[in-house]
Chains A and B, each alone.
Chain A
Amino acid sequence: MILVAFIAVLMIGGVIAWITSQWNSILSRWISLIALIVNFVLAIFIWIQKPTIESSNWIVQFSAQWIPSLGVSFSLALDGLSLLMVLLTFFLGIFAVLISWNEIQERVGFFHFNLLWVLAGITGVFITMDLFLFYFFWEVMLIPMYFLIGIWGHENRRYAAYKFFIFTQASGLLMLLSILGLYFIHGRVTGTFTFDYFQLLNTEMPADVARWLMLGFLAAFIVKLPVVPFHTWLPDAHSQASTAGSLILAGLLLKTGAYGLIRFVLPLFPTAAAELAPWAMLFGVIGILYGASLAFAQTDLKRLVAYTSVSHMGFVIFGVFAFNELAMQGVVMQMITHGISTGALFVLAGTIYERIHTREITSMGGFWNKAPFMGTIGLIFVLASLGLPGLGNFVAEFLTLLGAWQANQVLTIFATIGVVAATAYSLRIMQKVFLGNFSSDKIVPDLSLREKIIMVPLVIAIVWLGLFPQSVMNTVKQMISAQFNTEQIISNDTENENGSK
């Protein structure tokens, strides 16, 4: 029931926030904030209470009939991975409301409605175990996000919103085709037509059919992640969205792609995915280096940070397809730490924009002098972005690379070189924004109390993840090791088959 509550609280909260804004816009902000805090506390509560049952890795499950004639059920379930993602969603959601406190002054109610519905969609994606419902939430996520970019964005917001919508929608439709394909194949083989995730696992199908169906899923996820060359919607969407929009895009929406790879692509099509692995890893490395080189060239701060996302998300697909526990733990860490560190950089870009009304780093510089608190925070997240040990991102990247080394050494070398490039673009942010001479004639006050309330928890989180990552890793340990045990068996099987031929 608690899982339904997660989504219901957000959806109902969103509607109430919209309605109340007619009388009082502050009230709708508070309602959104409270809805998210309630959810966050609930999620923390589950995390602490997490029963340590060795046999099952599902912490909470909920299932109800929805359209029984079609085999569609309202099936929600939470395992370690979902729990972490849900926690991240509510954690960043709180800051998305806080950062919009002054920034959003128009159509406040509708903004918060969209914000909460986008978060509800994301939450749904992370916890649903019915493919039909999954697709439903995938769309719920998309439309409010389109409005968030298109209404409250910057100067070129229409273009960015369209681009975002078309990319996501087109790839999402391919996934829908694959979902339907899987549904019918499973129905034909077993006689039960169902969208239930657990039943669809281990569906037997010919290898080339599996390959095509996998590509459909993959299309949706690698556009969302994004993988080069399907990334071009991202810099536009990120740089044009409002701060909260960028925070949610970078912090959460990209993670749905990564989550989809781990939850659906690998378990549903293990052999097809294994065949694809070298290519996927190659594209991961290309993404790491290509994103880094583009990030280095940008002068628009938000666009720069957007390309760093492309680079960092390269590690995700790189690690997922390394097919081992080390790399997968790294990927999960990367999803969380990237959400926090890049989210924080977007928040920082937003706070700077509020002060000097530009995103051009050429007209920044020397802000440390005027705003040392902001500078210190900026430094910490720049360091997180370049993978400094002691901060969460290092744990993620190191584990990913360590695991990937066992899978593919040449590509791992190139991926490691990406870390040098990350140093170059990250330090460039530091130099252009905070160091150098104070050149702007604008006034740059240091962070306000509200901004500190946003930044300090993010800093604590990233340091905590860097020094004590084990609590997070333990949460997903069961889920990951279970996956790789079956993976191992299957790959052994195929080897045997190949051997016998």
Chain B
Amino acid sequence: MKLWLIPALPLIGSFILIVAGSRLSKRMVAIVGSGSVGLSALITLFTGYKFISTSATSFHYQAWQWMDVAGFSPAVSFHLDALSLVFIFVITFVGFLIHVYSTEFMADDDGYARFFAYLNLFVCSMLTLVLADNFALLYLGWEGVGLCSYLLIGFWYTEEKNGYAARKAFIVTRVGDTALAIGLFMLFQNFHTLNIQQIAAQAPQQWAVGSETAMVISLLLLGGAVGKSAQLPLQTWLPDAMAGPSPVSALIHAATMVTAGVYLIARTHAIFELAPDALMIVGIIGAATLVLAGFTALTQFDLKRVLAYSTISQIGYMFLALGVSAWSAAIFHFMIHAFFKALLFLAAGAVIMALHHEHDMYKMGGLKKKLPIIYWTFLIGASSLAALPLVTGGFYSKDQILWLSLAGEHGNIWFFLFALLGAFITSIYTFRMLFLTFFGNEKTHVGHIPGNGITIPLLILAGLSTIGGFIELPHSFGHFTVFSNFLNPVLPSVSVQEGFESIEWMIQLIAAGVALSGVYVAYIFYIVKPGLSEELKTSAADLHKFWFNGWGFDSLYDKLFVKPFVFISDINKKDIVDLFYDGLVWISNFFNRIFSYTQSGILRWYIMGIVIGGILLLTLGLIKN
């Protein structure tokens, strides 16, 4: 059993690159960097085959005992089950493709070795996160990915604003991590262990459904999840995180790390199921985030920021699915989303590189002819994001969420309407992006034509985001459930409310219609009558500005937390406590000065002093007697 090799190989790669990176040739760096992840992917494939062929429920490997104090004994040990297998599959394969892409994308960068070192370290941390058998090790991976995200957002460190974005990402997610940490303290207090499987087994025995402790713990775990997954109210860091190189956005800020929150909730579903109210809140956060982020995406002009808000919005769908206990639907959407969103980011990166680091979509256009491969793969990714019916993976994964948000046992009409509204907006902003970038007149000259290192990963991802959808087909046609059956031992399936089975095809028709009408709206606004969007923008300038700035969250937090903290620490820079001691010194000096007057050297004063003293003493003596 070579389970430990999967996270260890990228770690070794990273170590080699950190220690010896400056002495290796670029070719060697590329081989070490991509090779280590590629090997991990191969071992994942091998392990997955063994896992399925032996129809095991889990594999386990303990590397060493990490700590053992007073009953707290987390080990560095890995637990592989169907859920983590899906995750490590996505992480290593999408990760490998992105590494290959990066060998060309970053070819002219000075920090080539550093880039691959960070990227490898990230893959290792992410794998540790999803393979950890206890929460302490999970937390190690959790913080590790946060660190790599920080390092990679600020990769081009000479720019002050990149450093700011990087710190913002780290600090905002750490706010969520604090909640998570407190959740872990509570879990340990209740179960005297942080082993995930043991807790999942004991929780239903220890708590009744609706138990207050389960509720509090669920909300704390949710706090960690919204931080990492950039959901309301901690979503503000992700758009700024686009300061990092595009492969980073693809790997970390779209495909893998930001879904860590989804993983955490799915992994701890046993606890969440005991707290229906918390689950409801997960759903509400998901529904609200997906709509809010969707509207913001409509107003952005920076290509990568549109994709960033779209990521927030799509993770909102996953949270919505978790909230209605549609566990495998959430994981299915995670996987398909990883494929098409990585594809979109990588394609966007290729476009941006081709146009000399131009991010503004309004300065792009007409790239359909110049960059045909990019165009076609981008189109496939965009169709999947917009969930165009039948031919895209995104349709099957999103349709399932839409359906279960209404018909699932915890579903309701509001969740469904929000999801539907989100789907409509998604297809508008997606095709707005496509039309602005690839259609119309050429506005910026194309410089760098992408080579094989870039196009091959794009083609593979395009293939995956199309055929990936067919492994799980809805009841109304096909009824093919390989994916959910596979996950079933870990994640229970959700039952559908009575009376809804018959209308599934109707919901699908509505979803398809909404997606297509979104495309049509974008077509009218950006191809047929390009002036229309400008008119709309000026007529509702305030609303546009509000949406553009992400519903004012940044300035709110700035006023509420950042400014007061900086203000308080600034006025107290000299440390107010020291005034007290300075005061003591001043008083001592004061008395020193007063008493030193008495040492005047004048004999008369001394005699006078003695006489007065003598009189006082005598009087005292007399009074006492």
B538 is an interface residue with CB less than 8 A from chain A: no
Residues of A with C-beta under 8 A to B578: 232
A368 is an interface residue with CB less than 8 A from chain B: yes
A358 is an interface residue with CB less than 8 A from chain B: no
A390-405 interface with B by 8 A CB criterion: 390, 394-395, 398-399, 401-403, 405
B569-618 interface with A by 8 A CB criterion: 569-570, 572-573, 575, 577-578, 580-581
CA distance A444 to B186 in the complex (A): 48
A368 touches B157 (CB 8 A): yes
B179-208 contact mask (Cβ, 8 Å, vs A): 1 or 0: 001101110110000000000000000000
Q: Known interface pairs A298-B573, A402-B185, A416-B182. Does A293 touch B147 (Cβ–Cβ under 8 Å)?
A: no
Interface of B is mostly: helix
Partner of A389, one of B143, B182, B565: B143
A366 touches B158 (CB 8 A): yes
CA distance A389 to B147 in the complex (A): 10
B575 touches A419 (CB 8 A): no
CA distance A297 to B136 in the complex (A): 32
A470 touches B22 (CB 8 A): no
A419 touches B181 (CB 8 A): yes
Residue with the highest number of chain B CB atoms closer than 10 Å, among A399, A431, A481: A431
A445 is an interface residue with CB less than 8 A from chain B: no
Q: Known interface pairs A431-B163, A435-B154. Does A417 touch B178 (Cβ–Cβ under 8 Å)?
A: yes
Q: Known interface pairs A435-B163, A436-B158, A470-B66. Does A383 touch B147 (Cβ–Cβ under 8 Å)?
A: yes
Partner of B70, one of A297, A324, A395, A405: A324
Could you tell me how many residues of chain A have their Cβ less than 8 Å away from some Cβ of chain B?
56
Partner of A372, one of B22, B170, B188: B22
B178 touches A416 (CB 8 A): yes
Partner of B185, one of A293, A388, A405: A405
A401-442 contact mask (Cβ, 8 Å, vs B): 1 or 0: 111011000001100110110011001100100111110000
B126-177 interface with A by 8 A CB criterion: 136, 139-140, 143-144, 147, 150, 154, 157-158, 160, 163, 166-167, 170-171, 174-175
B568 is an interface residue with CB less than 8 A from chain A: yes
Closest chain A residue to B579 by CB distance? A232
Q: Known interface pairs A232-B575, A297-B569. Does A325 touch B170 (Cβ–Cβ under 8 Å)?
A: no
A235 touches B575 (CB 8 A): yes
A427 touches B185 (CB 8 A): no
A468 is an interface residue with CB less than 8 A from chain B: yes
A34 is an interface residue with CB less than 8 A from chain B: no
Partner of B189, one of A395, A406, A423, A428: A406
Measured CB to CB, the closest approach of chain A to B69, in angstroms, equals: 5
Q: Known interface pairs A372-B22, A398-B136, A424-B171. Does A293 touch B158 (Cβ–Cβ under 8 Å)?
A: no
A231 is an interface residue with CB less than 8 A from chain B: yes
Closest chain B residue to A422 by CB distance? B174
B67-106 interface with A by 8 A CB criterion: 67-70, 72, 76
Q: Known interface pairs A297-B570, A298-B573, A405-B185. Does A420 touch B174 (Cβ–Cβ under 8 Å)?
A: yes
Residues of B with C-beta under 8 A to A229: 577, 580
B18 is an interface residue with CB less than 8 A from chain A: yes
CA distance A394 to B167 in the complex (A): 19
A4 is an interface residue with CB less than 8 A from chain B: no
CA distance A324 to B185 in the complex (A): 14
Residues of A with C-beta under 8 A to B477: none
Q: List 18 A-B contacts (CB under 8 A).
A: A229-B577, A293-B572, A297-B572, A366-B158, A368-B157, A388-B147, A389-B136, A389-B139, A390-B143, A394-B143, A405-B186, A406-B189, A412-B182, A416-B178, A420-B171, A427-B150, A428-B167, A468-B64
Question: Which residues of A come within 8 Å of B, CB atoms?
Answer: 163, 228-229, 231-232, 235, 293-294, 296-298, 324-326, 329, 366, 368-369, 372, 376, 383, 388-390, 394-395, 398-399, 401-403, 405-406, 412-413, 416-417, 419-420, 423-424, 427-428, 431, 434-438, 467-470, 473, 477, 481
Question: Which residues of B come within 8 Å of A, CB atoms?
Answer: 18, 22, 64-70, 72, 76, 136, 139-140, 143-144, 147, 150, 154, 157-158, 160, 163, 166-167, 170-171, 174-175, 178, 181-182, 184-186, 188-189, 565-566, 568-570, 572-573, 575, 577-578, 580-581
List 20 additional A-B contacts (Cβ < 8 Å) besides A389-B139, A405-B188, A436-B158: A229-B580, A232-B577, A296-B565, A325-B70, A383-B147, A388-B143, A388-B147, A394-B143, A398-B136, A402-B72, A405-B185, A405-B189, A419-B178, A420-B174, A427-B150, A431-B163, A435-B163, A436-B157, A437-B158, A470-B68
Q: Which 4 A-B pairs have the closest CB atoms?
A: A389-B140, A405-B185, A325-B70, A297-B569
